[in-house]
Amino acid sequence: MDKKLFFNKDRLGAFMDAILAIIMTILVLELGKPDEPTFAAFAKLLPAYAAYAISFFWLGSMWTALHIAWDRIERVSQRTVWISLLLLFWASFMPYMTSLLFKWNAERTIQFIYGVIVIVTTLNLYGLYVSLNKDNAGTGACGYIAMAEKNLKVDILIKVIGLVAGLLILPQLTEIAILVAAIYMIGGRISIRVKAKKND
């Protein structure tokens, strides 16, 4: 591929870091305040705090995935840049959807739309990995990217199961599945690092 078609990976990585940091910061600004300074008033907001924590750590999990990938890749194509922008577009809905969860945590419609946004964003992340794999064919990055793609398939499956369960059984199962998927992905990255240290 012509070298002119590749972009500076550090500039794109810094841009994505900045946008995700803004999105994660806006989440806390959407949190409501208690009606009065009592533990009971704070307790009423526990579902909102849970929604905030799940959204924050899910976004954080995605950021760590991107950070690890960016450290390993060498090239970024124009295709990858546009996929990255699309990923940020979907991720930017998180503060809005999370604020709706603050108000209507037990509503199936809100949980369903929230779950769909998360799944579409994750599918976009999968597409980004596929694109990075093509950009960096023949380099050392491909092994990690291929493993990340495999883990994302399990991640997406967990989220889809949670989405269906939330629609049919209990709405909050959608959120719980997103949390479980984030823990699964973080655990996978920890195991990768442990294996890498053993091989060194």
CA separation for the pair 59, 91 (Å, rounded): 8
Rg of the chain's alpha carbons, rounded to an integer?
18
Print the domain residue range for 69: 3-199
Closest of 130, 112, 122 to residue 91, by C-alpha: 122
For the entire predicted model, the pTM comes to 0.90
Q: Could you give the C-alpha distances from 9 to 13, 32, 72, 79, in angstroms and in order?
A: 6, 38, 11, 13
Q: Is 129 exposed, middle or buried (CB count within 10 Å of its CB: 0-12, 13-18, 19+)?
A: buried
**HSE toward the beta carbon, residue 199, CA cutoff 13 A:** 6
Say how far apart CA 19 and CA 14 lie, in whole Å.
Answer: 9
With beta carbons less than 8 A apart as the criterion, state whether 117 and 90 touch. yes
> How would you classify the pairing of strands 76-77 and 6-7?
antiparallel
Total domains in the chain come to: 1
The Cα 16–Cα 178 span in angstroms is 21
Residue closest to 13 by CA, chosen among 66, 85, 58, 55: 66
pLDDT tens for the chain, 200 residues: list them: 445 467 788 999 999 999 999 999 999 998 889 999 999 999 999 999 999 999 999 999 899 888 888 888 888 999 999 999 999 999 999 999 999 999 999 999 999 999 999 999 999 999 999 999 899 888 777 777 888 888 899 999 999 999 999 999 999 999 999 999 989 888 877 776 666 566 55
Give residue 186's pLDDT: 83
